[in-house]
Structure 1
Amino acid sequence: MPHALVVDDEADAAEMVAELIAGEGLTVATAGSLREARRQLALQEPDIVLLDLMLPDGSGMQLFEDGSGLSNTEVVLMTGHASLETSIQALRLGAADYLVKPINIKQLTGVLSRLIKPSVLVAEASNLFDELEAEGHFGLLWGRSGKMRSVYEQILRVSATAVTVLITGESGCGKEVVAGTVHDLSRRRSEPFLAVNCGAISPHLIESELFGHEKGSFTGADRQHVGIFERASGGTLFLDEITEMPLDLQVKLLRVLETNSFMRVGSTQAVMADLRIIAATNRPLAEAVQSGKLREDLLYRLNVFPIHLPPLRERLEDVPLIAQHFLDEVCRREGQTKRYDPQALARLSTYHWPGNVRELRNIVHRAYVMAPDEIITDECLPQADEPTTVASGAPLLHIQLGTPLAEAERQIILRTLDHLGRHKEHTAATLGISLKTLYNRLKEYATVPDRIKDEGQEQG
């Protein structure tokens, strides 16, 4: 039977938590000081410790620092309020989660249901790195380059905790795959993983989609709607393109992160939010704040643990491995085996890949279709005059040094769109962004005067 230790100098609070834990089928001991906690740890190694850091004879942090037998014990901090500092402290100490006092039974039950010994997580990590050496992948992420190994280490570091993660990187790098990997390695793995593209939902509907609404709360609300936050309860919610979320809703998301609760549209009843938030953006963070696309206070609350994904051009040594993975996938699906000609594989390994891994996948699938037999030759790959690559005859766009990144991005998108005859799908493929992202940018630019011709930029 799993064993728990509650360390809290408030005797009544400790006994109440102990009773709740016992009701979930665990044996429980309590301690009101560091000295008593050390004695209990020596008597029986607990599976989980619920730890208040403010104790009469010192800080609970000392239990981490003096090697008091917590190496194979899940630690959950108990705090008077949820804050950014609490999240950072939990991460730094290696705590798996934290609970806000007074302890909510639903949140406590959720923590206990996710109980996994650290030794199990360590064994899983070892197996993943064995697979990386043998097969070249870390879960669903492919590549053995140094930059990707650094990403894998960060994923392992944060997945064992409950802190918020912010993933940055260019479009097509695989930010959702990283978010899914964090979830799969976390203690929430048996609960839902839901992904939401904040730029793909109408600004008028996004609050209802996220938080739900009550019947009659607005015209057309003929029944209660359970939002994504409730459907992801116990699991992980991935908010992609967070900078596309309306600013007024960013304020409400900030409150959810601070209070661990939200309200459906049209309701005055708070709902506990027992879920982990992972957000992502392809915009530079400083530029997003400066341009008013992301609230600075929300950035600080989301950016507890940042993970930056390198573009594919910075890890070209991974291209052959990833290209073979995509080819194996399509071969299995189509039932016919094909392979690369060395010259074709060499060209894939030297291309700039503006669309990153997403563009590589698309080109591999296209090459499979184009190959008349089992060999994918150089001729099966897109040529210089095709819209999936940067056309050699395209006019050059000179952007002055010091131009804000958002303005440079705007000029590149609009000029590429014009060069490709206003064909949006080709433009998105050429730039390596999703069609959804392109439409979002064009909608944004429609409210800004077109300054390109007036700026007198030289073309060559």
Structure 2
Amino acid sequence: MTQPRLFLHVQDPELSAQLMQSEIVRRFVVVRSSNTTPWSEQLLQQPCDLAFIQVDHESEADYQPLISSHLLAEMDFIFVSDGSAEPMLDELMRSGAGYHFRQPLDMSCILETLQDFYQQLSNIRQPADTKASMLDQFGLLVGSSRVMLKLYRTLRKVAVTDANVLVIGESGSGKELVANTLHLASYRAEQRFVAINCGALSPELVDSELFGHRKGAFTGALRDHQGVFTQAQGGTLFLDEITEMPTEQQVKLLRVLESGEFRPVGTDKTHQADVRVIAATNRDPQQAIAEGLLREDLYFRLAQFPVHVPPLRDRGSDISGLAQHFLAYRNAQEQQEKLLTEEAMQLIASHNWPGNVRELKHAIERAYILSDKQILPEHLLLNTEDTEADAQCLAEVPCGVPLDDLEKAAILNTLEQNAGNKTDTAQQLGISVKTLYNKLEKYQQTDQ
């Protein structure tokens, strides 16, 4: 068991005694502040997992280093004060420092908060086992790195609210798992979780998919259809790839978020929406706004609480831990005892994982199929095949052909290879479905 480190900066002898006599504080490795240097400098020199700070109004300068350092991202803080106005402390709280308790202090609440942090920070490990995972879990998320434990605490707090959440993260990092975890930890968990990929919708069907339609509302509307706002009534609606939704539909979505009302296509009857909306994007929202892909007013509506999902490369030991986790579950399913060799683990740890957790999971699945008793480096089909394919592709590209013609040929040939499946085609080409539709419409107009 790894004991978390608690930094204590407390001037009040009575408060200090209460803390040190409590069972929960004795479970931490306690680091007491000294009078030789400001406590913020001490934290920079010996970072801990959690800091308990009694506010000293005579030393406001002690707080400034926190705002300009990495500590706020890597540590959690509990501040206690007499309640006097403290602008610098307010700035820290806006930056996500943690908790601020004011006099009169409720020690039971403070100790309960310490207990909560302890449970999140403690890493209890079982002996290595081919069918055992060593990673912590919150909802559908798995990981024990500092950034993941911080994400768990954030999700636990926002889950019990009805705030709209915008989940931001790279492809494959687990954005839908974050959304589903928020739903499971919310008061709406007994109701439905409905997910829709905004990038996979044809522009002419977005209204119908969102709000539903009545029979005969348009050509092909052979029966009534419930949109996702109706399907998710009382529950959670997850809008994936929100930046790929056409801007005209973004206006209609904004209207629903502002008024709570919507109308199915082909009817004048107004319906009241009772859903918690979680959206996701793998783009930088500000860049998407600048490029006209996301309305700024919709962004502010969706991002009442933005959540950033860390890429796998920033999750440290979670990389090897997740490899073992996926292997353990596959071993349990197949009643096997396959092992990852040390060389394979070294290769996994050194890989950059541009496809994040999804890429890692698929790599372990492929290696499991190819291996016998041990998974060797040659079983891990990472970037090698892609590099060879890229080299072959470059060799086959003709010279002197206009780029627009090359692009058109690539799109139409890929579409034909995928039997007209636009979602798979867009994914293989590395573009959004919305962009693919725009390109195809352009080619159709040019050919007429």
TM (norm. structure 1) is 0.59
How far the C-alpha of 1:383 sits from its partner, in A, is 6.0
State how far apart, in whole Å, the 2-side matches of 1:128 and 1:444 are.
49
State how far apart, in whole Å, the 1-side matches of 2:339 and 2:292 are.
48
How far the C-alpha of 1:335 sits from its partner, in A, is 3.2
How far the C-alpha of 1:221 sits from its partner, in A, is 2.0
Residue 136, structure 1, aligned to residue 129, structure 2? no
| Residue of structure 1 equivalent to 2:380 | 381
State how far apart, in whole Å, the 1-side matches of 2:383 and 2:223 are.
54
How far the C-alpha of 1:151 sits from its partner, in A, is 1.2
| Residue of structure 1 equivalent to 2:306 | 306
State how far apart, in whole Å, the 2-side matches of 1:383 and 1:244 are.
29
Q: Call closer, same or farther: CA 1:191–1:436 in 2, change over 3 Å.
A: farther
| Residue of structure 1 equivalent to 2:156 | 156
| Residue of structure 2 equivalent to 1:443 | 436
Q: Call closer, same or farther: CA 1:438–1:165 in 2, change over 3 Å.
A: same
What secondary structure does 2:292 align onto? Answer: coil
Q: Call closer, same or farther: CA 1:384–1:448 in 2, change over 3 Å.
A: same
How far the C-alpha of 1:390 sits from its partner, in A, is 9.7
Letter in 1 for 2:436: K
Q: CA offsets per residue over residues 112-170 of structure 1, 9 Å max, x none?
A: xxxxxx9xx99x97898489645422232122112112211210110010100000011
| Residue of structure 1 equivalent to 2:319 | 319
| Residue of structure 2 equivalent to 1:205 | 205
State how far apart, in whole Å, the 1-side matches of 2:320 and 2:390 are.
23
Alignment of 1:225-240 (within 5 A): 225-240=225-240
How far the C-alpha of 1:362 sits from its partner, in A, is 0.6
Alignment of 1:2-401 (within 5 A): 129=120, 133-134=124-125, 135-139=134-138, 140-371=140-371, 373-382=372-381, 385-387=384-386
What secondary structure does 1:181 align onto? Answer: helix
What secondary structure does 1:386 align onto? Answer: helix
What secondary structure does 1:205 align onto? Answer: helix
Q: CA offsets per residue over residues 35-55 of structure 1, 9 Å max, x none?
A: xxxxxxxxxxxxxxxxxxxxx
| Residue of structure 2 equivalent to 1:26 | none
Unaligned runs of 5+ in 1: 1-87, 93-117, 396-409, 426-432, 450-460
State how far apart, in whole Å, the 1-side matches of 2:287 and 2:142 are.
30
How far the C-alpha of 1:346 sits from its partner, in A, is 1.2
What secondary structure does 1:217 align onto? Answer: coil
Q: Call closer, same or farther: CA 1:379–1:222 in 2, change over 3 Å.
A: closer
State how far apart, in whole Å, the 2-side matches of 1:424 and 1:183 are.
38
1:385–1:392 CA contact under 8 A, matched in 2? no
How far the C-alpha of 1:240 sits from its partner, in A, is 0.2
Q: Call closer, same or farther: CA 1:295–1:231 in 2, change over 3 Å.
A: same
State how far apart, in whole Å, the 2-side matches of 1:284 and 1:131 are.
33
How far the C-alpha of 1:310 sits from its partner, in A, is 1.3
State how far apart, in whole Å, the 1-side matches of 2:383 and 2:436 are.
30
2:241–2:281 CA contact under 8 A, matched in 1? yes
| Residue of structure 2 equivalent to 1:27 | none
Q: Call closer, same or farther: CA 1:196–1:242 in 2, change over 3 Å.
A: same
How far the C-alpha of 1:244 sits from its partner, in A, is 1.0
State how far apart, in whole Å, the 2-side matches of 1:424 and 1:143 are.
38
Q: Call closer, same or farther: CA 1:385–1:438 in 2, change over 3 Å.
A: same
Q: Call closer, same or farther: CA 1:221–1:394 in 2, change over 3 Å.
A: closer
What secondary structure does 1:349 align onto? Answer: helix
How far the C-alpha of 1:393 sits from its partner, in A, is 9.9
State how far apart, in whole Å, the 1-side matches of 2:417 and 2:311 are.
23
Q: Call closer, same or farther: CA 1:147–1:225 in 2, change over 3 Å.
A: same
Q: Call closer, same or farther: CA 1:183–1:126 in 2, change over 3 Å.
A: farther
1:214–1:264 CA contact under 8 A, matched in 2? yes
State how far apart, in whole Å, the 2-side matches of 1:394 and 1:206 are.
36
Identity %: 42
2:260–2:273 CA contact under 8 A, matched in 1? yes
How far the C-alpha of 1:326 sits from its partner, in A, is 1.1
How far the C-alpha of 1:423 sits from its partner, in A, is 12
State how far apart, in whole Å, the 1-side matches of 2:382 and 2:154 are.
38
How far the C-alpha of 1:282 sits from its partner, in A, is 0.4
How far the C-alpha of 1:288 sits from its partner, in A, is 0.7
State how far apart, in whole Å, the 1-side matches of 2:164 and 2:152 are.
17
How far the C-alpha of 1:337 sits from its partner, in A, is 2.5
2:165–2:277 CA contact under 8 A, matched in 1? yes
Q: Please, what is the CA RMSD of the aligned residues?
A: 4.2
TM (norm. structure 2) is 0.61
Q: CA offsets per residue over residues 319-346 of structure 1, 9 Å max, x none?
A: 0111111112222333323110011011
How far the C-alpha of 1:369 sits from its partner, in A, is 0.8
Unaligned runs of 5+ in 2: 1-93, 99-108, 126-133, 395-402, 419-425, 443-448
How far the C-alpha of 1:236 sits from its partner, in A, is 0.3
State how far apart, in whole Å, the 2-side matches of 1:127 and 1:245 are.
42
Q: How many residues align structurally?
A: 315
Letter in 2 for 1:229: F
How far the C-alpha of 1:382 sits from its partner, in A, is 1.8
What secondary structure does 1:279 align onto? Answer: strand
Letter in 1 for 2:194: L
State how far apart, in whole Å, the 2-side matches of 1:335 and 1:163 are.
43
Q: Call closer, same or farther: CA 1:390–1:175 in 2, change over 3 Å.
A: farther
